[in-house]
Amino acid sequence: MLRGITGDERIVDIIRLRLARDFGITASRAIDFYADAHIALADPEEYARILLDIFGRGASQILETIIIGLGDEFGLTTSEAMTLGDCIGALQSAKAGDPAVR
Protein backbone atom coordinates (compact mmCIF):
# COMPACT_ATOMS: atom_id res chain seq x y z
CA MET A 1 0.00 0.00 0.00
CA LEU A 2 1.30 3.44 -0.93
CA ARG A 3 1.44 6.10 1.78
CA GLY A 4 0.77 9.81 1.65
CA ILE A 5 0.40 10.66 -2.02
CA THR A 6 -0.49 14.34 -1.97
CA GLY A 7 0.48 15.61 -5.39
CA ASP A 8 3.21 16.07 -7.93
CA GLU A 9 4.96 18.75 -5.89
CA ARG A 10 5.34 16.28 -3.02
CA ILE A 11 7.09 13.84 -5.35
CA VAL A 12 9.39 16.62 -6.59
CA ASP A 13 10.10 17.64 -2.98
CA ILE A 14 11.07 14.06 -2.08
CA ILE A 15 13.38 13.84 -5.10
CA ARG A 16 15.10 17.09 -4.12
CA LEU A 17 15.32 16.22 -0.41
CA ARG A 18 16.79 12.80 -1.10
CA LEU A 19 19.38 14.25 -3.47
CA ALA A 20 20.33 16.85 -0.84
CA ARG A 21 20.57 14.20 1.86
CA ASP A 22 22.73 11.84 -0.17
CA PHE A 23 24.84 14.28 -2.22
CA GLY A 24 24.72 17.55 -0.27
CA ILE A 25 22.88 20.79 -0.94
CA THR A 26 25.30 22.16 -3.52
CA ALA A 27 25.36 18.99 -5.61
CA SER A 28 21.58 18.56 -5.38
CA ARG A 29 21.04 22.12 -6.61
CA ALA A 30 23.41 21.51 -9.51
CA ILE A 31 21.59 18.28 -10.41
CA ASP A 32 18.22 20.05 -10.30
CA PHE A 33 19.56 22.99 -12.31
CA TYR A 34 20.64 20.75 -15.17
CA ALA A 35 17.82 18.21 -14.84
CA ASP A 36 14.74 19.77 -13.22
CA ALA A 37 12.92 17.21 -11.09
CA HIS A 38 9.62 18.18 -12.75
CA ILE A 39 10.87 16.47 -15.91
CA ALA A 40 10.94 13.19 -13.96
CA LEU A 41 7.17 13.47 -13.51
CA ALA A 42 6.41 14.29 -17.12
CA ASP A 43 8.86 11.87 -18.72
CA PRO A 44 10.98 9.69 -16.41
CA GLU A 45 12.92 8.15 -19.32
CA GLU A 46 13.86 11.59 -20.66
CA TYR A 47 14.95 12.64 -17.17
CA ALA A 48 17.19 9.57 -16.96
CA ARG A 49 18.64 10.36 -20.41
CA ILE A 50 19.38 13.94 -19.37
CA LEU A 51 21.15 12.72 -16.24
CA LEU A 52 23.16 10.23 -18.30
CA ASP A 53 24.15 12.88 -20.85
CA ILE A 54 25.29 15.29 -18.15
CA PHE A 55 26.66 13.05 -15.40
CA GLY A 56 27.68 9.93 -17.32
CA ARG A 57 28.15 6.91 -15.08
CA GLY A 58 27.19 9.01 -12.06
CA ALA A 59 23.63 9.10 -13.38
CA SER A 60 23.00 5.56 -12.14
CA GLN A 61 23.88 6.60 -8.59
CA ILE A 62 21.59 9.64 -8.83
CA LEU A 63 18.71 7.53 -10.15
CA GLU A 64 19.23 4.88 -7.49
CA THR A 65 19.09 7.56 -4.80
CA ILE A 66 15.82 8.92 -6.21
CA ILE A 67 14.23 5.48 -6.58
CA ILE A 68 15.16 4.47 -3.02
CA GLY A 69 13.95 7.81 -1.69
CA LEU A 70 10.56 7.56 -3.39
CA GLY A 71 10.22 3.94 -2.32
CA ASP A 72 11.02 4.77 1.30
CA GLU A 73 8.76 7.80 1.45
CA PHE A 74 5.73 6.32 -0.27
CA GLY A 75 6.05 2.67 0.71
CA LEU A 76 6.69 1.31 -2.77
CA THR A 77 7.52 -2.36 -2.99
CA THR A 78 10.66 -3.53 -4.75
CA SER A 79 8.61 -4.58 -7.79
CA GLU A 80 7.02 -1.13 -7.98
CA ALA A 81 10.37 0.62 -7.68
CA MET A 82 12.58 -1.13 -10.24
CA THR A 83 13.07 2.00 -12.39
CA LEU A 84 12.25 5.67 -12.06
CA GLY A 85 9.46 5.17 -14.60
CA ASP A 86 8.02 2.36 -12.45
CA CYS A 87 8.10 4.59 -9.36
CA ILE A 88 6.49 7.59 -11.04
CA GLY A 89 3.88 5.39 -12.72
CA ALA A 90 2.94 3.70 -9.43
CA LEU A 91 2.72 7.03 -7.63
CA GLN A 92 0.64 8.66 -10.35
CA SER A 93 -1.69 5.65 -10.51
CA ALA A 94 -2.12 5.70 -6.74
CA LYS A 95 -2.78 9.44 -6.82
CA ALA A 96 -5.46 8.84 -9.45
CA GLY A 97 -7.05 6.21 -7.22
CA ASP A 98 -6.13 3.15 -9.28
CA PRO A 99 -6.87 0.18 -6.99
CA ALA A 100 -4.44 -2.01 -8.94
CA VAL A 101 -1.47 -0.46 -7.14
CA ARG A 102 -2.87 -0.60 -3.60
Tens of pLDDT along 88-100?
A: 988 888 776 644 4
Count CA atoms within 13 Å of residue 61 on its CB side: 10
Tell me the per-residue pLDDT of 48-95, one tens digit each, with 9 for 90 and over.
999 999 999 999 999 999 999 999 988 888 777 789 999 998 888 877
Domain ranges of the chain: 8-96
Residues 15, 21, 22, 25: what is their CA dihedral angle, to the nearest 10 degrees? Answer: 90
- Whole-prediction pTM: 0.83
Burial of 62 by CB count in 10 Å (0-12 exposed, 13-18 middle, 19+ buried)?
A: buried
Q: Please give the angle made by the CA atoms of 58, 60 and 62, to the nearest 5 degrees.
A: 75
